[in-house]
Amino acid sequence: HLDVLVDNAGVAGTQAGPADTLPADFLPVYGVNVLGPVRMTAAFLPLLRAAAAPRVVMVSSGLGSFGATSDPVRIESQVPALVYTSSKAALNMITHQYAKFLDGVRVVSVDPGYTATDLNGHSGPQTVTEGTDAIVQACTEDVLPGTFFSRSGAEAW
């Protein structure tokens, strides 16, 4: 059996705003950020169903949150990345659907925050340890299924 599946798929793709993004820019990013977690969840679902209290943790992003990207105080509202942001918003809806319809499986989305990693040239303000706090919490604590949260607490979808 498998107790916890962490779907941590993320590529940035073209960092361009809506006017400079082409339809072909979506395919590789959606293939990883959206279809990757769907493939992994489908592949491991039989093992998850054999566990006593299975959970799936989707590693999303504040950039996939309508609330964060609409709030001028949040850094997420300043990032023109049509492809990446929409891919993580799609992942959040997938999380919501799984949480509603995968009976007995606790499914949540987690925003690790802007973390210093190779993906962003180590420009994030927090450490990898800080960025993984919410992921570890989702894996080990009694979190409410179907929620989206970060180390700061609940996040708006």
Residue 27 is classified by DSSP as H
The answer to whether 98 is a known catalytic residue is: no
Written as one letter, the residue type at 150 is: S
The answer to whether 100 is a known catalytic residue is: no
Q: Which residue has the tokens 């604590």?
A: 141
Q: Which residue has the tokens 């990693």?
A: 117
Written as one letter, the residue type at 21 is: T
Of the candidates 8, 92, 6, 101, the one whose C-alpha atom is nearest the C-alpha of residue 44 is 6
Report the alpha-carbon distance of residue 122 to residue 92 in Å, rounded. 25
| Number of other CB atoms surrounding residue 140 within 10 Å | 10
| Helix, strand or coil, per DSSP, at residue 16 | coil
Written as one letter, the residue type at 46 is: P
Strands 55-59 and 106-111: parallel
Active-site annotation, residues: 84, 88
